[in-house]
Chain A
């Protein structure tokens, strides 16, 4: 695979350059290469070749990144296991992917019962072994789990072909082109796929990856890295600049060349203000679901103005050359220019399907015959329309899936877990604005005021922190719209009015 070869060449060519800055320490490409070699030997010795998915405990260290790349060189997929998430959820993920081997750099093993845990720390570092195995393009490179409405997370596996195609598609496209001298931010948890581009794109070019310390408050840590190391490339979710907005006047970083956004709506107004903090940067608004490999299209922001938008949400531009978009109505009929419908995506970055979830796969895929060939399309659940120039505008979500701090959340999944504790009660989980331009989760319960503590502790056991509701509302009856559905708009308004706090 081309990316693996390019990675190998990059490590050889830039062996004396810095590859990572992690918790204040620099590591060269040479050091990274030697870690990767050590982990490969461990995997070759200990893991049967039939094992395709290997868990990696996502610590904030060189060993974790080296583990993921070592698995790629061995033609295996990594399954990121985030130690800050509940163990039950992590075990569910390992079970779904049938992973029995785990690479773990922690001093004390994160999981031990029933798994083969291989320590990725303190390995001998003799000799380099950076020649990738011959990898089948349809083999998997990584799996990202997203929230599923039935209470079980959905695993979206991405193939080497998908990833290879993504890497070629972003390079020298939409003005994005990295050099070995670039200093690039990696702010994401490794369980979120924007982390992949944040470390892969720099490593392919010999640039340096600056990872975020997990100790402080995220957006302040970003500004610290940004100003201390004069970063040149930022890949972020829009919520970061919403938090920083009150302090834009104090931020001045002329070093930034690219400020890439994805994973949420980017508003034109804030993008313009942010561009003043990073006056030499090109802002790029990328778009794409996890299922089509990180992002599959984008829009170049013009700081002089005249940008395309829908309700101030910046256009998501055009698909990459390897990708096709199509807008359909409720009956699956293709819609023309200016008509809003569900965006569907086909192309080389499209994943093969969710793991062990035939029902969902039937729902999200369909095939279109075109020019004697059949094309598989994926229904994104995003409502969009295309303008006369072929640029796409983002309108909203078609279902009840929302983005909280960049993470996709099926409100249904949270409701499902709430209902296991509040049996027989009517509950609704809803996204509510927090007054600072971001979304919070609100839990509305049809009842007199009750103690929600047991519910919240249960949620904390089964869900990651970003899925725990932070606002609470008790109602005699939910507001309903004319067609008998819960009136989400009205309910959201009640949250904003009352701001009823827990306990």
Chain B
């Protein structure tokens, strides 16, 4: 997945959750730079991102987020591992099917 593509979806999620679009999302953008991005909306943003990409962040992932750049990195690595996971599941299912046969 491309960084620009993720940035676009993030922009949409932020606009929807925060109720405005007067912000830019650059790699070094932090919560301080975006009006309304606080402790409360942070959780809503995370929930929306998790839903959109069908991923689940761990507490460690979230504690290490520093800016938009690290958020995008975290999404990429999560999506990557969840793809591998899906592939594994499919493989296993195939095998179990084989066994059933």
Q: How large is the interface on B (under 10, 10 to 19, 20 to 34, 35 or more residues)?
A: 10 to 19
Chain A positions 462-503 with a Cβ under 8 Å from a chain B Cβ: 465, 470, 501-503
Contact with B along A214-246 (1 / 0, CB 8 A): 011111100110000000000000000001100
Interface size for A (C-beta < 8 A) is: 23
A215 — which chain B residues lie within 8 A by C-beta?
Answer: 32
The answer to whether A149 has its CB under 8 Å from any CB of chain B is: no
Alpha-carbon gap, A405 to B39, bound state (A): 10
Q: Which chain A residue lies CB-closest to B31?
A: A217
A243 to B20 CA separation, bound complex (whole angstroms): 24
Number of A-B residue pairs with CB-CB distance less than 8 Å in the complex they form? 41
What 0/1 readout, one digit per residue, does chain B (32-68) give for beta carbons within 8 Å of chain A?
1000001111111000000000000011101100000
Complex alpha-carbon distance, A179 and B62, angstroms: 33
Residues of B within 8 A of A247 (CB): 58-59, 62
Contacts of A436 in B (CB 8 A): 43
Shortest CB distance A219–B (Å): 7
Question: Do A220 and B40 contact each other (CB < 8 Å), given the known contacts A250-B58, A501-B19?
Answer: no
Q: Are B43 and A223 in contact (CB under 8 A)?
A: no
| Interface positions of B from 1 to 51, Cβ below 8 Å from A | 16, 19-20, 31-32, 38-44
Q: What residues of chain B lie closer than 8 Å to A251, measured between beta carbons? A: 59
Interface majority SS (helix, strand, loop, mixed), chain B: helix
A220, B42: Cα distance in complex, Å: 11
Rounded to whole angstroms, the CA-CA distance of A405 and B20 in the bound complex is 23
CA distance in complex: A503, B19 (Å)? 6
CB closest chain-A residue, reference B21: A503
Give the residue of B16, B39, B60 whose beta carbon is less than 8 angstroms from that of A219.
Answer: B39
Q: A224-B63, A501-B19 are in contact. Are A217 and B58 (CB under 8 A)?
A: no
A440 sits at the interface (CB 8 A): yes
Does A502 contact B39, Cβ atoms closer than 8 Å? Answer: no
What A residues does B40 contact at CB under 8 A? 405, 434, 438, 440, 470
Give per-residue flags for A427-438: 1 if the beta carbon is below 8 A from chain B beta carbons, else 0.
000000010101
Check if A501 sits within 8 Å of B63, measured CB to CB: no
Q: A503 and B38: CB pair below 8 A?
A: no
Contact partner of B42 (CB less than 8 A), chosen from A217, A244, A434, A465, is A217
- Cα A452 to Cα B90 in complex, Å, equals 50
Cβ B19 vs Cβ A218 within 8 A: no
Complex Cα distance, B63 from A251, in Å, reads 12
Q: Are B63 and A223 in contact (CB under 8 A)?
A: yes
Q: Are A243 and B43 closer than 8 Å at their CB atoms? A: yes
Bound together, the chains give a CA A501 to CA B17 distance in angstroms of 8
CA distance A327 to B62 in the complex (A): 45
* Whole-angstrom distance between the Cβ of B93 and the nearest chain A Cβ: 26
- Which of B20, B40, B44, B60 has most A Cβ within 10 Å? B40
| Chain A contacts for B62, CB-based, 8 A | 217, 220, 247
Closest to A503 in B: B19
Interface centre among A217, A243, A250 (most CB of B within 10 A): A217
**Neighbouring B residues of A216 by C-beta, 8 Å:** 31
Selected from A217, A224, A470, A503, the residue in CB contact (under 8 A) with B39 is: A217
- Please name the residue on chain B nearest to A465 by beta carbon: B38
Q: Are B59 and A250 in contact (CB under 8 A)?
A: yes
Closest CB of chain B to A457's CB: distance in Å? 11
Q: In the assembled complex, how far is the CB of residue B41 from the closest CB belonging to chain A, in whole angstroms?
A: 8
For window 237-269 of A, CB contacts with B under 8 Å fall at: 243-244, 247, 250-251
On chain B, the residues within 8 Å of A434 by CB distance are 40, 44
Contacts of B63 in A (CB 8 A): 220, 223-224
**A433 → chain B, closest Cβ, in Å?**
13
* Residue ID in chain B nearest A466 by CB atoms: B40
Query: Who on chain B is nearest to A242 by CB?
Result: B43
Residues of A contacting B44 in the complex (Cβ-Cβ under 8 angstroms): 434
Residue of B nearest to A247 (CB): B59
Interface centre among B39, B42, B44 (most CB of A within 10 A): B39
CB distance from A118 to the nearest CB of B (A): 29
Bound complex: CA of A215 vs CA of B40, how far in Å?
Answer: 14
Chain A residues closer than 8 Å to B42, beta-carbon distance: 217
In the bound complex, do residue A501 and residue B31 qualify as a contact, i.e. CB atoms below 8 Å apart? no
Residues of B within 8 A of A218 (CB): 39
Cα of A54 to Cα of B8 in the assembled complex, Å: 50
Q: Complex: how many Å from CA A220 to CA B66?
A: 12
Q: Which residues on the A side are within 8 Å of B58 (C-beta)?
A: 247, 250
Q: What separation, in Å, do the CA atoms of A50 and B16 have in the docked complex? A: 54
Note all chain B residues with C-beta closer than 8 A to A405: 39-40
25 CB-based A-B contacts, threshold 8 Å: A215-B32, A217-B42, A219-B39, A220-B59, A220-B62, A223-B63, A224-B63, A243-B39, A247-B59, A250-B58, A250-B59, A250-B60, A251-B59, A405-B39, A434-B40, A434-B44, A436-B43, A438-B40, A440-B40, A465-B38, A501-B16, A501-B19, A502-B19, A502-B20, A503-B20
Nearest 3 pairs between A and B by C-beta? A247-B59, A502-B19, A250-B59
- Interface set of A (CB-CB < 8 Å, partner B): 215-220, 223-224, 243-244, 247, 250-251, 405, 434, 436, 438, 440, 465, 470, 501-503
